[in-house]
Amino acid sequence: MSALFSPLTLRSVTLPNRIVVSPMCQYSAERGEATAWHMIHLGSLALSGAGMLCIEATSVEPDGRITPGDLGLWDDTTEAALKPVLAAIRKHSSIRVAMQLSHAGRKASSHVPWEGGQLIPVSQGGWLPHAPSALPHKAGEEPPLALDTPALNRIREAFAASARRAARLGIDALEVHAAHGYLLHQFLSPIANQRSDDYGGSLENRMRFPLEIFDIVRAAFPADKPVGVRVSATDWVDGGWTLEDTIAFAQELKKRGCDWIDVSSGGVSPLQKIPLEPGYQIPFARAVKQATGLTTIGVGLITDPLHAEQLIEEGDADLIALARALLYNPRWPWHAAAQLGATVEAPPQYWRSQPREQKALFGDISFGQR
């Protein structure tokens, strides 16, 4: 049996295989509301044959959006906009659906990537971002507002409220976004966090707010459904967040009932230097898994099914998340199953698509026609 296509159970949720559709920002929402683009985009990926589909970084409040086009889940309107998208997925696919809850912190109020991705000044229709400290992400940018106690309380409640809304929508799992230089990562990294109160300084203090947010989300979401966390294992900058810090953070998350660690890297500083190659972040996932025993998700330029199979087989990660590879080839799991001699779920409308030499790809099925 293929290791990549073996099942995995997280609390009450069983994934039929170890392939995860990584959360990928689409910057195509309107006022935080899902649009027809989300119906097309997520609907296509729901038919990919992956074990779990994670909805893109979903902001818990309007000021927490990376761009004006970010998806949100902060009121009845944004919640209602996701209902038909999820209903369509549920009608035509049994894929497990997760959602990544996020707050952009000082990286908020940015142009969409295809318009440059830079900070939108308030004078040009942007908004003033919030952050642990009044330190801009990039030299020359207007500093963000340092979060005070009332603002921290507002963000706590925003995460709780979004988790409750996700539960009402029937989301199967949640991932708390503490990576890529966004708010919770900003609290963790000494590059972005220079507070002098209980939320800054020592590693214990810098972990405090992200751990509080995890506890809040965990408490607000059904106990039988899993909650994981995405982390940046290193800032790739001297003096920043390190793999050793990540392991300490993961150990604290494990004590609190975290169900997985999704191990990425970078994002908190434009000074980062990342040596890109296939699987370049897998050593971080392996180290976290070995040190904590937590279920880990490996991600990072993994495009070859044999490579993904090897990573699962050798215990480097428990799940493999794909992003750009699935945008380029939304049927990647089909092709991986064919290559590895496994079966994958496909809608009956597509059963006739399998090549003659791969008649077992969709399992024991028949397709009759008069």
The domain containing residue 263 runs over which residues?
8-342
pLDDT at 370 over 70: no
358 within a domain of the structure (yes/no): no
370 within a domain of the structure (yes/no): no
Phi, psi of 278 (to 5 degrees): -55, 125
**Strand 19-21 vs strand 96-102: parallel, antiparallel, or unpaired?**
unpaired
Q: Buried b / exposed e across 307-329, counting CB within 10 Å, b at 16+?
A: ebbebbeeebbbbbbbbebbeee
How many domains are there within the chain?
A: 1
Number of Cβ within 10 Å of residue 196's Cβ equals: 9
Tell me the per-residue pLDDT of 115-152, one tens digit each, with 9 for 90 and over: 999 999 999 999 999 999 999 999 999 999 999 999 99
Catalytic annotation present for 328: no
pLDDT for 145 equals 97
What is the pTM (predicted TM-score) of this model?
A: 0.96
In this prediction, residue 363 has a pLDDT band, given cuts at 50, 70 and 90, of confident
**DSSP per residue over 83-98, as a string?**
HHHHHHHHHH---EEE
pLDDT, average across residues 55-80? 98
pLDDT for 366 equals 57
pLDDT for 350 equals 92
pLDDT for 168 equals 98
266 within a domain of the structure (yes/no): yes
326 within a domain of the structure (yes/no): yes
pLDDT for 241 equals 98
190 within a domain of the structure (yes/no): yes
CATH code assigned at 334: 3.20.20.70
pLDDT at 368 over 80: no
pLDDT, average across residues 198-221? 98
1 within a domain of the structure (yes/no): no
Catalytic residue among 182, 199, 328, 350: 182
What percent of the chain shows pLDDT beyond 90?
94
242 within a domain of the structure (yes/no): yes
96 within a domain of the structure (yes/no): yes
Asked whether the beta carbons of 279 and 306 are under 8 A apart, the reply is: no
Question: What does the block give as tokens for 349?
Answer: 């409308």
Q: What are the angstrom distances between the C-alpha of 142 and each of 109, 184, 187? A: 11, 20, 19
pLDDT for 365 equals 63
Residue 76 buriedness (CB in 10 A; 0-12 / 13-18 / 19+): exposed
Cα 343 from Cα 331, distance rounded (Å): 13
Lowest mean pLDDT among 155-159, 211-215, 274-278, 309-313: 274-278
pLDDT for 369 equals 59
Place of tokens 């030499």: 357
Q: State which amino acid sits at residue 241.
A: W
Question: What does the block give as tokens for 155?
Answer: 């963000």
Return the beta strands (E) in the chain as ranges: 8-10, 13-15, 19-21, 52-59, 96-102, 130-131, 145-146, 173-178, 227-232, 261-264, 296-299, 319-322
What percent of the chain shows pLDDT beyond 70?
98
Question: What does the block give as tokens for 167?
Answer: 């539960």
Instruction: Choose between 354 and 108: higher pLDDT.
Output: 108
